[in-house]
Copies of this chain bind each other. A is one copy, B any other.
Amino acid sequence: MKMALRACLRTKPGLTGLLSQLSCSGHAAARRAPALVAQRSSSSTSQKIKVDFDQSTGVAVMHMQSPPVNSLSLEFLTDVCIALEKLEMDKSCRGLVVTSSQPKVFSAGLDILDMYGKSPEHCAEFWKAVQEMWLKFYGSNMITIAAVNGSSPAGGCLLSMTCDYRIMADNPRYSIGLNETKLGIVAPFWFKDTMVNTVGHRATEMALQLGLLYSPAEALKIGLVDQLVHEDQVLTTATETMTKWLAIPDHARQLTKSMMRKPTIDKLAANREADVNNFVKFITKDSIQKSLGCIWRCLREERLREGKHVCTLCSTSYRCDLTSGSEQSTCLGDKTQHLPLKVLIKTLEVRV
């Protein structure tokens, strides 16, 4: 099934028919897995996604369990889309809670390894999967609640924003936001549209320009999340909240949700191919690849070492000091542009 989706993503020249094709694939899968609907409570587990579906309530919980930080790789995105599609096709499933099984992180966002050192074709396939994830979640007929039980930067923040309601763990060490600019990349228009729909134009302008990561309290204040609860209560609160949403007749709620979101969804649906081309053109630039390389090396080699380092790209000497948060900078592959290490580390600390 997963391979079928990836093949589909890979081979179709036109993008307009993709959504419905995926729906067909999902439908077939649902027919092949009747256990999902026949049992009162079922559990469907792929390697990286665990779905618990309670027939008595009509609510499924999707646990993301892709170590270490639920990075949204092409493979993981494909798994997520297939799992969502199965639930969407099952008429008895009315609500979905999305949460993480990994400690301290909801999702670290798009996987850098699907963008760094890869062919344009791979980058295109990856980006189509990101689009697909957004289209499916933002347009879901189900009630979707994000149980944000850890940090949620970039693509992780996007995923949570596609849901109908966001409950976050009230732990000041966690953060959430679209921090792309801090990494030298740019959130595309549909990330932006989703955020504008959530927190308004001005907060989005500030957040995206500065690549802001918000503490839970700050996120609540600007409306990026809807509710804060103790870390232990995130999932149970999500389930309780779901009860309120389930009290609304589905057909009326679905028509209303579609009315609110359709214009935003249509904008991407009508421009998927151009959006893929823009992404591939941008991400395969030498300067951007150098930036990604530097970020990756920092992630891989240096995350546990504190002390003095010399940037392998531009020979700038800097000090990696996670605790004091000194304002030393690391090179992003462009001698005139440096990124404060504190910022970089904060962004990525969920991996440390």
A3 within 8 A of B: no
Q: Once the chains are docked, how many angstroms separate the CA of A283 from the CA of B269?
A: 30
Q: Which of A173-200 contact B (CB under 8 A)?
A: 180-187, 189, 192, 196-200
Given contacts A186-B259, A260-B204, contact A164 B253 (CB under 8 A): no
A13-21, A122-130, A336-344 - the one binding chain B: A336-344
Taking CB atoms, residues of chain B closer than 8 Å to A206 are 165, 226
A231 within 8 A of B: no
Taking CB atoms, residues of chain B closer than 8 Å to A180 are 252, 256
A271 within 8 A of B: no
Contact B205 A260 (CB under 8 A): yes
Taking CB atoms, residues of chain B closer than 8 Å to A334 are 249
Taking CB atoms, residues of chain B closer than 8 Å to A308 are none
A38 within 8 A of B: no
Which of B196, B208, B245, B329 makes the CB contact (< 8 A) with A210? B245
Contact B185 A252 (CB under 8 A): yes
Contact B197 A202 (CB under 8 A): yes
Q: Once the chains are docked, how many angstroms separate the CA of A251 from the CA of B252?
A: 42
A266 within 8 A of B: no
| Assembly stoichiometry (copies) | 3
Taking CB atoms, residues of chain B closer than 8 Å to A202 are 197-200, 223
- A-side interface mostly: helix
Taking CB atoms, residues of chain B closer than 8 Å to A223 are 202
A250 within 8 A of B: yes
Contact A260 B208 (CB under 8 A): yes
A257 within 8 A of B: yes
Taking CB atoms, residues of chain B closer than 8 Å to A249 are 181, 184, 291, 332, 334, 337, 339
Taking CB atoms, residues of chain B closer than 8 Å to A332 are 249
Contact A186 B252 (CB under 8 A): yes
A209 within 8 A of B: yes
A109 within 8 A of B: no
Q: Which of A327-351 contact B (CB under 8 A)?
A: 329, 332, 334, 337, 339-340, 343
A274 within 8 A of B: no
Contact B198 A252 (CB under 8 A): no
Contact A209 B337 (CB under 8 A): no
Q: Which of A224-258 contact B (CB under 8 A)?
A: 226, 244-245, 247-253, 255-257
Q: Within the complex, what minimum Cβ distance (angstroms) separates A26 from chain B? A: 22
Q: Once the chains are docked, how many angstroms separate the CA of A187 from the CA of B291?
A: 44
What 1/0 flags go to A143-181 for Cβ under 8 Å of B?
000000000000000000000110000000000000011
Contact A181 B337 (CB under 8 A): no
Taking CB atoms, residues of chain B closer than 8 Å to A245 are 209-210
Taking CB atoms, residues of chain B closer than 8 Å to A184 are 249, 251-252
From A200, A211, A244, A334, residue with most partner B Cβ within 10 Å? A200
Taking CB atoms, residues of chain B closer than 8 Å to A199 are 202
